[in-house]
Structure 1
Amino acid sequence: MQLNLDAVPMGQPGILHQYAEKLVAFEYTRGNQSKPNSLLFIGGLQDGLCTVEYVADLVAALQNSDWSVFSLVLSSSYNGWGVGRLGKDIDEVAQCVQYVRDYKRQLFGSGKVVIMGHSTGSQDVMHYISCPNPRPRHPVLDKNVEPLMRSPVDGAIIQAPVSDREGILWVLKAGTERDSPETMREIYRKAVADAKQSTYEDGDRVETVVPLSVTARIGYPSSTAVSSRRFLSLTSPDSPRTPDEDDLFSSDLSDDQLQQTFGAIGTRELLSSKLMVLYSGRDQSVPPWVDKEVLLKRWSVAAGQDFWHQRSMVIPNASHALSDCDQAEPRRILVERVTGYLSEVGTRV
C-alpha cells in the first residue's frame, strides 16, 4: 500500500458522539458516508483528540472501507492521567463499546468493533480483555462505584506497549542533564516512601499528590499533578515480584505473571479473534537492555496461538508514536498491518 503522508489533511470532518456523561468520541467521517464496522482508538498518557499523528493515516487508508475510526476521550485523557487508573478507563471504554454497537446497530443491524491502544492505551486494551469481568473493586476509589460488565470486542490491537516502570529505571540508571544517577535514585526513593506512607488522607477519602517539583525531575510534565496512588502504579516499586496495575509489559515479569495477563485472554472470553501487537523498534521509552523480539516471543507463548496474531511484529526504526520526521516507512508498515487485521476481522462470521 502506498500512502502519501503529505496528502493527509490536517483537519478531519466527523461526528462528535457523547457516549457517557462528560465523555465523547470523535468519529472520522467524510460526507454522509456511514460504515458498519468501528475501530476505537485509545491514546496514551497526555493524549486526546488528534494528538497521535498516525491516526490520520489510518483514517485515510480506511476511507473506502467498511471501517470508521473513533478517537476516544476518557476522563484520564490529556492531563487527567495523573489521577486516572486503568480500572476506570476500561469502564469508560466499555461504555463506548456498547454505545458504538448500539449506534451502528440502528444503522446497519450489526457491525464489528475493534479496540486499539497506543502506549498506555495498550494497557487499557490489555486490561479490558484480560482482567476479571467485571473488574475487581478498588477498596478506596470504588466505595460508591459499581464496576461495569464489559461486552466482548471483535478485535484488539496494541501499539507501543511499553513499561513505564522500566522507562523510569532507565532514568535512574542514566541520570538527567540536571541530576546524577545517585541524585535521581535518592529523589525516587524518597518519593516512593512518601507516596506509600501517605497515599490517602482525610480518612482515606482523598488522594494525596506527589509534589510537582519531584515528578518533573523524574520526567513527568511539570503541568500535570500525579496522585501518590497513580505514581506507585506507574513506578510499581515492588515489581517484578508484585507488579502494580500499570505494570503489564515489563521485560522482567515472570512467565507465571504473564499468564495473568496475556495468558488470561482466552479464559475471559472478551476477545473474539486474536490480539495484534505492534512494538516500535526504536521506541525512545524502552531501555537498551530490553530485547524486543524476545519479549514479543514470550508474550506470544503466554497468549497461545489461538489468541496471538501471527502478523504481530517489532516495526523496524519506529519511534514511540511514529511521529518523527523519518517515520514514513514505519507508518506505512503500521497502516498495512492494521488495515490487514481489520480486513480479516471484518470477514469473520
Structure 2
Amino acid sequence: MRLPVPASPYGTLTGDLFSYTMTPTNLVAFETSPSRPSKCILLGGLSDGLLPTPYCKELAEQLPEQWSLVQPLLQSSYTGFGHGALDRDVQDLETLFLYLQTHRRAESFTLMGHSTGCQCIVHYLKTGKQSLRLAVLQAPVSDREHAATSPQYAHFLSLAQDMRHQNKLQEMMPREAFWAPITAERYLDLHERGGKDDYFSSDYSAEELIERLQHVSAFGERTDDTSDSRRFQCCVAYSGADEYVPDHVDKAALTQRLVDAMNHGSSSPIAHPLYLPSSNHNLSNHEQEREQFIHHIVQLLQD
C-alpha cells in the first residue's frame, strides 16, 4: 500500500536556481521572476533554508511588478549557523548583491528577515555597503531571553564563558547544550547579554537599545541617494502571540521601544512598527494578519 504524499506546506514556487559563489563553498539562491530589476531578498531564521516561512508563495505572487523574490542559502543556513557568525553572513550578502548586479540585472534591493534573519539584517545595516530600499524585520525576537527560560541556561552559559577563558571558542559545546551543533563562540553570541546577536532583548534600557540599534537610521542617511525622493525605510513587524518571547514581555511596548531606538538621532523617522496582536512567530496561525503583513510590505515597495 502506497502512503499518501504530503503537499509542500509552504507552497511551490517557479523560478531560477543558481550558484552565486563557489568559494569557500557552493552557495545557491532561488529567484522568482528573474527578469525583474528589483530584488527582495528573504532571510530565514536558525535552521531555515529555502522556503523559510509560510508566506513565501503569497509574497512572491503579490510583489509589485518590478520586484522578484530571492531566497539565498548562506553558509549559516540550515545547521551552518552553529559554526558561523553575523560577520560571515554580511560577507555572503555582499557576494550575493554583487552577483545579482553583475549577472541578474539587479538595480535595487530590499532585505527581509524572519527571526534570526532579522539579526543578520540589523548587523548588515551596521557594516554593509550596499544601499537598500527597505529592510523588513519580521519576528525580531531575543534568542537570549528565550534560552533563559530553560533551567540549564545558566550552566551552559557558564561553560561557554569558561571555554572563552581557555581560548576554546571554536570548540563545540556538549551535545545537550543546544538542539544543533554549536561552537562556544556562537553560543555566546546568541545567549550572552550583549552578545553579537543580542539586539532585541526587552531587558535593555532605552540607552542600551539606542547603543545597539541607532545605526539603523544612520545607515539610511549614509546610503540614500539624495537625488531620489524614495528614502530607505525599516519595518519592525512583531507578533503578539510569538511563542519564542517570554510571557512577561509586553510585546507591543517592546516593538515601539525597538523602533524608537532605531530612529534615535535621525532628522526624520526611518523605522516604523507593524504590530500583529494575534500572530505567532512565523505568521502561520492567523491568515488575516499574515495578509495584512504582506499587503503592508507590498505597499511600501509600491510607494
After TM superposition, the score normalised by the length of structure 1 is: 0.75
Q: Helix, strand or coil: the match of 2:211?
A: coil
Q: CA deviation at 1:70?
A: 0.1
Q: CA deviation at 1:270?
A: 4.3
1:289-344 deviation line (CA, Å, top 9, x unaligned): 1112211222222222634344x3111211101123xx211211111111111112
1:203-254 deviation line (CA, Å, top 9, x unaligned): x587111111232xxxxx3xx2111111111111xx2xxx110100001112
1:101-160 deviation line (CA, Å, top 9, x unaligned): 33343xxxx62210110000000111111x2x3xxxxxxxxxxxxxxx622222111100
Name the residue aligned to 1:98. Answer: 98
| Compared CA separation, residues 101 and 258, structure 1 to 2 (3 A) | farther
1:160-209 deviation line (CA, Å, top 9, x unaligned): 0000011112x23xxxxxxxxxxx2xx333322221122497xx587111
Q: Quick one: distance in 1 between partners of 2:43 and 2:112?
A: 6
Tell whether 2:2 aligns with 1:23. no
1:44-97 deviation line (CA, Å, top 9, x unaligned): 0010011312111101212x6111000010111011111121111111112112
Name the residue aligned to 1:83. Answer: 83
Q: Quick one: distance in 2 between partners of 1:290 and 1:213?
A: 27
Q: Helix, strand or coil: the match of 1:275?
A: strand
Name the residue aligned to 2:3. Answer: none
Name the residue aligned to 1:177. Answer: none
What amino acid is aligned across from residue 53 of structure 1 in structure 2?
Answer: P
The equivalent position to 2:153 in structure 1, one of 179, 188, 195, is 188
What amino acid is aligned across from residue 163 of structure 2 in structure 1?
Answer: S
Q: Percent of pairs identical after alignment?
A: 29
| Compared CA separation, residues 200 and 99, structure 1 to 2 (3 A) | farther
Q: How does 1:321-340 map to 2 (within 5 A)?
A: 321-324=282-285, 327-340=286-299
What amino acid is aligned across from residue 270 of structure 2 in structure 1?
Answer: W
Please list every run of 5 or more consecutive structure 1 residues that lacks an aligned counterpart in the other structure: 1-5, 134-148, 173-183, 216-220, 345-349
Name the residue aligned to 2:177. Answer: 214
Name the residue aligned to 1:297. Answer: 256
Count of aligned pairs between the two proteins: 282
Tell whether 2:124 aligns with 1:128. yes
What amino acid is aligned across from residue 114 of structure 1 in structure 2?
Answer: T
Q: Helix, strand or coil: the match of 2:47?
A: coil
Q: CA deviation at 1:256?
A: 2.2
Contact persistence 2:240–2:252 (CA under 8 A): no
Q: Quick one: distance in 1 between partners of 2:71 and 2:93?
A: 11
Tell whether 2:276 aligns with 1:315. yes
Contact persistence 1:282–1:320 (CA under 8 A): yes
Contact persistence 1:23–1:75 (CA under 8 A): yes
The equivalent position to 1:252 in structure 2, one of 174, 182, 203, is 203
Q: Helix, strand or coil: the match of 2:214?
A: helix
Please list every run of 5 or more consecutive structure 2 residues that lacks an aligned counterpart in the other structure: 1-6, 225-230
After TM superposition, the score normalised by the length of structure 2 is: 0.85
For the aligned residue pairs, the C-alpha RMSD in angstroms reads: 2.3
| Compared CA separation, residues 309 and 264, structure 1 to 2 (3 A) | closer
Q: Quick one: distance in 1 between partners of 2:161 and 2:240?
A: 35
